[in-house]
Chains A and B, each alone.
Chain A
Amino acid sequence: MDDNCKQLDEALELWKDVKVDHPRLNSRVWARVANEDKEPAALPNFLNLVQSILSRPMYASAFVVACILGGLLLAELRVAQQQVERGNQLAESYKQVIDPLIKDTYLYD
């Protein structure tokens, strides 16, 4: 850490043309460096959390059940949407069947 501080001091020493007038610049820079060091470790922490949750049988079962319910919900939404589309499509084609004035009238051909 002291070695790094020394390097930073040397780098700031080189940066003479720009006047930096801030009492805690050094500590702030190191705080930001420390924060950036922490971020890459966030993903493994999340994976550890997932792993620790799924290792418990109750939570693992709950996860599987949630996946099944999610799949069913999605399927129900898709079915409902398809039924609406099909209803509209068949209503239009039914009107074509009964009305010869509609351009695409066809009948049991």
Chain B
Amino acid sequence: MWKSIVVLSIGLVSGAAAHLGYFNAYAPACFSADAECEMEWLRAELDLSEEQYVSITRLHGNSAAQIRSLSRKVRDLELLLAELEAERVTEGYVDYLEIRNYMEVKRKLDEACMKSTSDLIASVGDVMNMDQRKRYFSIVQSRIN
């Protein structure tokens, strides 16, 4: 009886140890959504060479300030729209001139955002070979105009 219990225990402990060992060795290293993690993921996903990786990281770094600034403008515009809507609801007043200006600014901002994204995607794609580019475009497909 004891011999069977010992064999069962050894089996279960060995199985658990093998499971944890393998999982810890091969589980994805980073889950957080930070830039370094994303670049590492992109490198692995597209089989980028060291040279390509450096170029692509530099391209993202160069456009970071512009994208951040555009992103801030988009949020400001959303806040402006929320304020206009609050004014309409609480005071029953619609400032059509302000709305027209909002629409105009939003249209220009959307164009600038799309151009910025497309330019970045195109310049990153230029660093890649055909196969990598195809895979990269499939990842960012919804962002390509």
Contacts and interface: CB of A to CB of B under 8 A. Distances in A.
Contact of B12 (A60, A67, A78): A67
B8 A99 contact: no
Contact of B22 (A71, A89, A99): A71
Contacts, number: 126
Interface residues of B, number: 50
Contacts of B63: 98
Given A78-B23, A79-B22, A64 B67 contact: no
A55 B2 CA distance: 10
At the interface, is chain B mostly helix, strand, loop or mixed?
helix
B103 to A, nearest CB: 16
Interface hub of A55, A70, A72, A101 (most chain B Cβ within 10 A): A101
Contacts of B19: 71-72, 74-75
Given A75-B21, A98-B140, 13 more contacts: A64-B14, A68-B11, A75-B18, A86-B41, A90-B41, A91-B139, A98-B67, A99-B113, A105-B68, A106-B71, A107-B64, A108-B61, A108-B64
Interface of A: 50-51, 54-55, 60, 63-64, 66-72, 74-76, 78-79, 82-83, 86-87, 89-91, 93-101, 105-108
